[in-house]
Structure 1
Amino acid sequence: MYSSTKPLFDYIVRNVTAYSHKEARAMAFMLLEHYLRLRNVDVLVDKPIPSNASQPDWDIIIARLNQSEPVQHIIGSTYFCNLEFKVSPSVLIPRPETEELVRLVVKDCYWDEDPVKIVDIGTGSGCIAIALDRFMSFAKVWGWDVSDDALAVAQENAHRLLSEVKFEKYDILKEDTFEGQFDCVVSNPPYVTYSEQISMEPNVLRFEPHLALFVEDADPLLFYRAIADFCLKHLKSTGACYVEINEHFGAATQKLFVEKGFRKVEVIQDMYGKDRIVKARLSVEEV
């Protein structure tokens, strides 16, 4: 067992060989924070580790990382919008780009005359739905998914984060049996084509659910078409739809919503300058 922080940090970084040096450092910081509650600055000043601190078997953790297992799965959680979410192989690990989707919805929908009704289609871990529920106290939020395992994770996250999101099983690709309307429809649906697997990292391909990741190359906009059709029936005329998209299909996704009858459709780029969000409104008038 290590008695001070810096030698342990260096040991982890040196032996995590499946990733770049920068990535290994980031993982080492995450591990030390999770297991020993050590901050980055504690590493820099080589803070002593108490002799009675419970330390895991670091070699086993390093071996798991070198087998491309995501550090978030080893820890069992990750942060999204400053909230800690449980993750598992049943759900996608939340990405920073998706935080931009949440911030956009909060900015656009922040009014309090009436409860804002929001549905998150394909909720996964529940990160989008729960973040919106926590940041918008006047909102009523639903989270839908086709996976029972994902819904179980989402429900656990809601319990841990004191969220009142209502999670339900619903398949957007099947016959529409829902009755009701929403002010906002949001979704981060499967949008990676199978042909893109060749450029993906093994930690994603081997450990994250393909059900939530991939769509057939022959119909890459399958879920967006279903979401647009759902919105035509269940989105209020003053409402808006927000979807995360494949960077390669920004213009095509925008065209799809326009052809479905949406009056105002925007493609919004993420922090890296890539097409990442489509915002679609049935009316040209903003609320």
Structure 2
Amino acid sequence: MILKQYKQHFFKELESVFDEMEIESFFFLISEHLHEIKRIDLALNPNYEILDEDVEKWNFILSELKKEKPIQYILGKTAFYGLDFFVNENTLIPRPETEELVEWILEENKEYEVKRSVLDIGTGTGCIPISIKKNRPNSTVFAIDISKGALEIARNNAKQNETDVLFIEQDILETKSLNEIKELDLKLDIIVSNPPYVRNLEKQEIKKNVLDYEPHLALFVEDTDALLFYRKIAQLAKEKLSENGQLFFEINQYLGKETIELLQALGFQNIDLKKDIYGNDRMIMATLK
């Protein structure tokens, strides 16, 4: 079958679920994944043929997309900060806003020769610590997660991207002190976290592909204590950060003011709230003097 013909079928089957730009994006992600053929390749070779067994693979992916399963889970991978990452149902899909957080951390610590010690809490795919380590190879980088499944993916991602990150299984809410974690036998210059922050009351804002497929453990917090993780991590950070150490958070866009007040109450200074590319309050940096 000619791939261009299948493309017409692909678009027709998905037009009631997704907009045209999304469908086109899906089509070329899949064509590159299955055939290593990009948009320009197909334009130059409009009669590119695919085998019957390939059509079966396309049909399977198409059936999963109709269920609104995220394309990243279907293909088992995604791109983040110029790197490739494995993903599965144990991990959140890394998002552009988190790339912005990584960029901010790197910019604030751009002295290439300066060694930094970094801890990411709630690492998921490992996209934050791996991206930092890849771009600041002199840094010593650690990452914590409660999920064995997520840590398995994160370790595979570190190996694939040839980065040395130490991953630790730990329930941060049950942690009385970061000093009790034997691997963390040093002061930390940077602690970063993108913890669960979506309140249950905000579930109606969440798209079906996220709500039905991404791990709720990594997404949601109770309405009555939406800053639970921020409070706990900031408290732990106070004793573990070095002088002038930095605390970075990705935050709930509706709780910027409340997060700032929490950090101020805990003695953090130079608190900077930053918007993401969509104009939402999304990131905070604070310093411990």
Same fold (TM > 0.5): yes
Residue 254 of structure 1 corresponds to which residue in structure 2?
260
1:13 maps to 11
How much does 1:32 deviate?
1.1
Q: Figure out how many residues of one structure are paired with residues of the other and give that number.
A: 281
| Percent identity of equivalent pairs | 35
The answer to whether residue 175 in structure 2 is matched with residue 169 in structure 1 is: no
The corresponding residue for 2:182 is: none
TM-score by length of 1: 0.93
Structure 2 residue 129 is matched with structure 1 residue 129: yes
Aligned to 1:193: 199
Q: SS at 1:203's partner residue?
A: helix
Alignment of 1:84-163 (within 5 A): 84-163=84-163
**1:49 correspondence with 2:55:** no
Q: Which residue of 1 aligns with 2:183?
A: none
Cα root mean square deviation, aligned: 1.7
Instruction: Measure the CA separation in 1 of the matches of 2:52 and 2:45.
Output: 16
Contact residue 9 and residue 43 of structure 1 kept, 8 A: no
Q: Report Cα offsets for 1:145-172 as digits up to 9, x if no partner.
A: 0111110110111111111000001222
Equivalences for residues 22-61 of structure 1 within 5 A = 22-45=21-44, 47-50=46-49, 55-57=54-56, 58-61=58-61
Contact 1:36 1:53 in 2 (8 A): no
Partner of 1:184: 190
Cα offset for 1:227? 1.2
Distance 1:255 1:53 in 2: 60
Shift of 1:52: 6.2
Contact 1:6–1:46 under 8 Å retained in 2:
no
* Structure 1 residues 197-212: aligned runs within 5 Å: 197-212=203-218
Residue 131 of structure 1 aligns to a residue whose secondary structure is helix
SS of residue matched to 2:248: strand
1:78 Cα shift? 0.3
Secondary structure at the counterpart of residue 276 of structure 1: strand
Work out whether residues 177 and 236 of structure 2, in 8 Å CA contact, stay in contact via their aligned partners in 1: no
Q: CA offsets, 1:205-247, max 9 Å, x none?
A: 1111000000001011111101110111111121111110111
Distance 1:10 1:247 in 2: 39
Q: Where do residues 197-236 of structure 1 align in structure 2 (5 Å cutoff)?
A: 197-236=203-242
Distance 1:142 1:99 in 2: 18
Structure 1 position 244 matched with structure 2 position 250? yes
Q: Is the 1:194–1:217 Cα contact (8 Å) retained in structure 2?
A: yes
CA distance in 2, matches of 1:50, 1:43: 10
**For the residues of structure 2 that align with 1:177 and 1:226, how far apart are their CA atoms?**
10
State the partner residue of 2:287. 281
Task: State how far apart, in whole Å, the 1-side matches of 2:238 and 2:177 are.
Answer: 14
In 2, the alpha carbon distance for the partners of 1:280 and 1:237 equals: 12
Aligned-partner Cα distance in 2 for 1:151–1:175: 18
Deviation, structure 1 residue 111 = 2.3
Counterpart-to-counterpart distance in 2, 1:132 and 1:118: 9
Q: Please say which of residues 266-275 and 33-42 is displaced more in the overlay.
A: 33-42
Distance 2:166 2:55 in 1: 36
Task: Return the letter of the residue paired with 2:25.
Answer: A
SS at match of 1:239: strand
How far residue 66 of structure 1 moved from its aligned partner, in angstroms, is 0.8
Decide whether aligned partners of structure 1 residues 61 and 9 sit closer, same or farther in structure 2, where only a CA change above 3 A counts.
same
